[in-house]
Amino acid sequence: MNVDPYTPHAGDARIRVEHYDLDLDYKLSTNRLTATAVIDVRIAQETTTFGLDLVGLRAKKVRVEGLPKAGFSQTDRKLKIALGAPVEAGTVLQVAVDYAGAPKPRRTRWGALGWEELEDGLLVASQPTGAPTWFPCNDVPYDKATYRMRVTTDPGYAVVGSVPPKRSTSKGRAVWDFDIAVPTATYLMTLQIGQYDEERMPLGAVAGRVFFPRGLTARVHADLEDLARMMTVFEEAFGPYPFAEYTVVVTADELEIPLEALASAIFGANHIDGEHGLERLIAHELAHQWFGNSVGVARWQDIWLNEGFACYAEWIWSEASGGPSAHAKALAHHARLADLEQDVVLGDPGPDAMFDDRVYKRGALTLHALRLTIGDEAFFRVLRTWTAERAYATAVTADFIALASAVSGSALDAVFSPWLDQSAVPPLPAGPADTEAAPITGPILGLGGTVPWDRSRH
């Protein structure tokens, strides 16, 4: 039963997943994965069957605790589980799946997604439908779950997930255990393996870690030196950082785009130039921890709640770090959008356009129009309230409009509608200052000094 028209082959409305327990044994030299997933599935509506998403890997055995007559079949996209009898809504079933294969990316309209081999290691980049390339799942953004993940692999490599692991050895192989206690969408689950150095990177009160090839050390140190100040700016603007730690991975390989994952970001060697040339990308991925990873979208139609907010964070950082003001950025991007084809509706861009840069910039401009309308104090109060009240949950656009209206004390449908419901780019409100270089004085007052790294290897 399809649940999201943007990804019509993903997910099953008859279930919700509460917890994934993944035991992964991976051989790098042969790209061979042998695994068991034990999944706590809550039945959302009475059914005799349901499906899990699994792509490119073959299920060998499926067991459903308490249902000895359960069986399974598999297509190229789905693992279909027959329960043998009707199961009532609210029942929690523990489903164990043994599976194996040579994982690889799946081909989609958004490019290759999921498990990808690197020159010497691997990365996982799943947004929006790549998670089934490495574990069976209910691959829809609203179905957040907790995870335990054990990875057994070749020694001599760093294995990176969203939280610090416990490390051990077994029969000469390295074992890495991860426990993820915050509800997480399947596409935000990550696994990175490589020959990386690890350094601690204090980010104010937030613990930070960075993994990178030794040959990129100088470039990484230079480009990430302001990350602690960036964290301070974003915590002031958006509220407390929502996770216990933040991890940055820089691969030796070049990547097409940076990748966000739960409590982490992954950059290619081409994104780290040692000259702060792509600093906006560092800001963008950090901002996703609030917008996308903590407060998630319930449906892909509302992707602007992730990408528009992260794009606007780039402009906030620009202003706070002495670059062009957010207002100057907004005016410049508004002028550029006015010269482009105007055939994207922000509130429902369609699956082909959901990652179009015009969605990102129009989303940011929508926030700037809100800021101009209600003023800085109310605007940043809206953002901080949004991240607090929706932490670790999901939302749709109507939720944000309702919250912004309630927090600001203003009816805002007329402000949002032209930006969200029409393809033509509307004019920005005049606001308190409508000149090209005029800054808007916000709550970001000072950045303080750079916090030194503890550059001991671990």
Annotated binding site for Zn(2+), which residues?
284, 288, 307
Known catalytic residue: 236? no
Tokens (6 digits) for 252 = 């030796």
CB-CB contact of 145 with 154 (8 Å): no
Q: How far apart are CA 66 and CA 301, in angstroms?
A: 38
Catalytic hit among 199, 285, 314, 319: 285
Alpha-carbon gap, residue 176 to 159, rounded angstroms: 7
Distance CA 298, CA 185 (A): 10
Q: Which two tokens stand for residue 168?
A: 């051990």
Question: What is the DSSP code string of 40-94?
Answer: EEEESS-EEEEEEE--S-EEEEEEETT-TT-EEEE-SSEEEEEEEEEE-TT-EEE
Contact between residue 313 and residue 234 where contact means Cβ atoms under 8 Å apart: yes
Coil, helix or strand at residue 397: helix
Query: E strand or H helix at 168, and its extent?
Result: strand 166-170
Q: Which residues lie closer than 8 Å to 446 by C-beta, 6 or more apart?
A: none
Coil/strand/helix, residue 16: strand
3-state secondary structure of 154: coil
CA separation for the pair 326, 319 (Å, rounded): 6
Residue from 6, 20, 241, 360 carrying the catalytic annotation: 360
In the annotation, is 285 catalytic?
Answer: yes
The CA distance from 359 to 381, in Å, is 24
As a whole number of angstroms, the distance between CA 328 and CA 319 comes to 9
Q: Which residues are catalytic?
A: 285, 360
